[in-house]
Amino acid sequence: MNTVSQPLLRLENITKRFKELIAVNGVCLDVPLGEKLVIIGPSGSGKSTLLRSINLLEKIDEGSIQFEGREVGYVMRNGTRHLDHSQAISALRAEIGMVFQHFHLFPHMTVLGNVMEGPLTVQRKPAAEARAIAVDMLVKVGLPDKSDVFPATLSGGQKQRVAIARALAMRPKLMLFDEPTSALDPELVGEVFDAIHTLADEGMTMVIVTHHMGFARELADRVVFMESGNFLAQGTPAEVFGSGQDNERIRGFLNRLL
């Protein structure tokens, strides 16, 4: 892991409300370049909302998001927070890729077309270059033989790997994974984890929300336990998953899943 003083991503006092519910409560987080950070916790704890806030899919109410040392996502006008202009948001999302629980592939496009779409339409790359990038990404996720088929013919695990390839085609500096295997049958989970492991081995910076504790323990550099919009604890996998875990709430959660 790179230990440069300036993190790739910094969150300062991020707060997100849905009416009276505080989904994310003043969260602060630094993610250094190359770190594999895994966020765990019960359903409804704010994990997915936090991830969506990083990628500006949820508008935060308070705090700041800094990427590569610059504040991103918002501008202040007349004392009120507003989302930045659409071009700036698109540029940021090109650098922060996201993979969701559900695959959101375009059913009318081939696998290759799905992966080419971002470089073509967002980055305005020539078709030949976009195709070459897409082919490379499909090789990376182990699906070079599926380029000409349509998503309906794929298994769930294959669809999720195409979704990962599509995000990677934008050449992001940070990848966000929001429960990437929760919609999959158990026997398909491993192939998606294998693809994520490949990215980890290549040094990709990642923030991953998952309910698979074994995967979190083996992949993460750092694990954060989140509940009720707050970070209850964070540390190495050995510290968070260790038998000596002294937080009763975390211990109870882990005992149900491990």
* Interaxial angle between packed helices 156-168 and 111-121, expressed in degrees from 0 to 180 and rounded to the nearest 10: 20
Give the residues of the chain that fall short of pLDDT 70: 1-4, 243-244, 258
Amino acid (one-letter) located at 43: S
| CATH superfamily to which 35-51+87-257 belongs | P-loop containing nucleotide triphosphate hydrolases (3.40.50.300)
Tally of residues, the chain: 258
Give pLDDT, residue 98.
94
Give pLDDT, residue 1.
47
Give how far the C-alpha of residue 164 lies from the chain's centroid of Cα atoms, to the nearest Å: 10
Give pLDDT, residue 3.
46
User: At 20, phi and psi to the nearest 5?
Assistant: -85, -10
The 8 Å CB, 24+ separation contacts for 160-163 are 160/99, 160/103, 160/184, 160/192, 161/191, 161/192, 161/195, 162/103, 162/105, 162/111, 162/114, 162/115, 162/138, 163/99, 163/100, 163/103, 163/104, 163/105
Strand partners, 66: 10, 71
Share of the chain above pLDDT 90, in %: 75
- CB atoms under 10 Å from CB of 114, counted, come to 26
What confidence tens digit (pLDDT) does each residue in 37-70 have? 999 999 999 999 999 999 999 999 999 999 999 9
Give pLDDT, residue 66.
95
Q: Are strands 80-83 and 74-77 parallel, antiparallel or unpaired?
A: antiparallel
Give pLDDT, residue 78.
87
pTM for this prediction = 0.92
Give pLDDT, residue 244.
55
